[in-house]
Structure 1
Amino acid sequence: MFNQFIDKLQKIANPIANKLNSTKEFVAIRDGMIATTPVTIVGAVGILMANLPFLDKFAPNVNTFLVNFFSQLGTISIGMLTVTILIAVANSYSEQLKINKLYGIIVSFLSFLVISNFSYKGAGEVAGKAVEKLSVANVIPTALFSAQGIFPALITTIISLKIYHYFIKRDITIKLPDAIPENVTKSFTSIIPMFVVLLFFLVVRFGFSLTPYGYFSDFMYQMFTQPLLALGDSIWAIAIFILIQQLLWFFGIHGANVVGVVWRPILLTMMAANLDAYNTGHALPYIVSLTFWEVYSGVFNFAIPLTLIFGCKSERAKSMGKFSWIPSIFLVHEPFMYGLPVVMNVYMFIPFIFVYLLQFFLVYGLAVLHIAPIPVVPVPWTTPIILSGFISTNFNIMGSLIQILLIVVGFFGYLPFVKAMDKQFLKEEQGL
Structure 2
Amino acid sequence: MNKFIEVLENILLPIADKLNNNRYLTALRDGFMVALPLIIFGSIFVVIANFPFLDRLLSEDAYAAYQNALGSASAATLSIMGLFVIIGIGYKLTEHYGGQAIYGGVVALAAFLILTPQSLEGVSGVIPTVSLGAQGMFLGILTAFISAELYRFFVNKNWAIKMPAGVPAAVSRSFSALIPITLTLSVFLFIRIVFSYTPFETVQNFIYTILQQPLTNLGSGLIATLVAVLLIQVFWFFGLHGQIIVNSVFDPIWYALNDENLKAFQSGEELPNVITKQFIDSFLVGMGGTGMTLAILVLIFLIGRSRQLKELGKLGGSAGIFNVNEPIIFGLPIIMNPLVIIPWILAPVVVTIITFFAMSSGLVPKPAGIIVPWTTPIGLNGFLATGNSWRGAVLQIFNLLVVMAIWWPFLKIIDKKYYEEEKQQAD
Please classify the TM superposition score into its range, dividing by the shorter chain length.
0.5 to 0.7
Letter in 1 for 2:168: P
Root-mean-square deviation over aligned CA pairs: 5.2
Structure 1 residues 360 and 215 mapped into 2: Cα distance closer, same or farther (>3 Å)? closer
Alignment of 1:241-256 (within 5 A): none
Q: 1:405: which partner in 2?
A: 398
CA deviations over 1:276-310 (Å, ceiling 9, x no partner): x9xxxxx799756793226245168679x7xxxxx
CA deviations over 1:38-69 (Å, ceiling 9, x no partner): 32322223322222233333332653442221
Displacement of 1:323 in angstroms is 8.1
Q: 1:361: which partner in 2?
A: 350
Displacement of 1:175 in angstroms is 1.4
Alignment of 1:216-295 (within 5 A): 216-224=203-211, 235-236=226-227, 263=237, 265-267=239-241, 270=244, 291-293=289-291, 295=293
Q: Is the 8 A contact 2:134 2:241 kept in 1?
A: no
Distance 1:187 1:240 in 2: 44
Letter in 2 for 1:193: P
Distance 1:323 1:143 in 2: 38
Q: 1:34: which partner in 2?
A: 33
Alignment of 1:157-196 (within 5 A): 157-196=144-183
Structure 1 residues 285 and 106 mapped into 2: Cα distance closer, same or farther (>3 Å)? farther
TM-score, length of structure 2 as denominator length: 0.59
Displacement of 1:159 in angstroms is 0.6
SS class of match (1:218): helix
Q: Is the 8 A contact 2:81 2:132 kept in 1?
A: yes
Distance 1:107 1:199 in 2: 11
TM-score, length of structure 1 as denominator length: 0.58
Q: 1:310: which partner in 2?
A: none
Structure 1 residues 41 and 230 mapped into 2: Cα distance closer, same or farther (>3 Å)? farther
Q: 1:384: which partner in 2?
A: none
Alignment of 1:244-393 (within 5 A): 263=237, 265-267=239-241, 270=244, 291-293=289-291, 295-298=293-296, 357=346, 361-362=350-351, 366=355, 370=367, 389=378
SS class of match (1:298): helix
CA deviations over 1:143-165 (Å, ceiling 9, x no partner): 22123211111111111110001
Q: For the pair shown, which has the larger CA radius of gyration, 1 or 2?
A: 1
Unaligned runs of 5+ in 2: 219-223, 252-276, 315-340, 360-365, 409-427
Q: Is the 8 A contact 1:148 1:269 kept in 2?
A: no
Displacement of 1:110 in angstroms is 1.3
Alignment of 1:64-103 (within 5 A): 64-103=64-103
Q: Is the 8 A contact 1:148 1:225 kept in 2?
A: no
Pairing 1:150–2:124 present? no
Structure 1 residues 156 and 227 mapped into 2: Cα distance closer, same or farther (>3 Å)? farther
Q: Is the 8 A contact 2:299 2:404 kept in 1?
A: no
CA deviations over 1:239-265 (Å, ceiling 9, x no partner): 6999xxxxxxxxxxxxxxxx99x7151
SS class of match (2:120): strand
Displacement of 1:197 in angstroms is 0.5
Q: 1:249: which partner in 2?
A: none
Distance 2:342 2:188 in 1: 44
Q: Is the 8 A contact 1:80 1:146 kept in 2?
A: yes
CA deviations over 1:75-124 (Å, ceiling 9, x no partner): 23222122122122222222222222221122111111222222234xxx
Displacement of 1:224 in angstroms is 4.2
Equivalent of 1:198 in 185, 210, 222? 185
Q: 1:127: which partner in 2?
A: none
Percent identity, aligned pairs only, is: 24
SS class of match (1:109): helix
Q: Is the 8 A contact 2:226 2:352 kept in 1?
A: no
When structure 1 is superposed on structure 2, of 199-208 and 63-72 the one drifting more is: 63-72
Distance 1:389 1:329 in 2: 23
Letter in 2 for 1:143: V
Displacement of 1:19 in angstroms is 3.4
Letter in 2 for 1:107: V
Aligned residue pairs total 325
Unaligned runs of 5+ in 1: 122-134, 243-258, 278-282, 306-320, 333-351, 378-386, 416-432
Q: 2:19: which partner in 1?
A: 20
SS class of match (1:293): coil
Pairing 1:137–2:124 present? yes
Letter in 1 for 2:31: G
SS class of match (1:199): helix
Letter in 1 for 2:169: E
Q: Is the 8 A contact 2:78 2:133 kept in 1?
A: yes
Structure 1 residues 89 and 390 mapped into 2: Cα distance closer, same or farther (>3 Å)? farther
Distance 2:66 2:112 in 1: 35
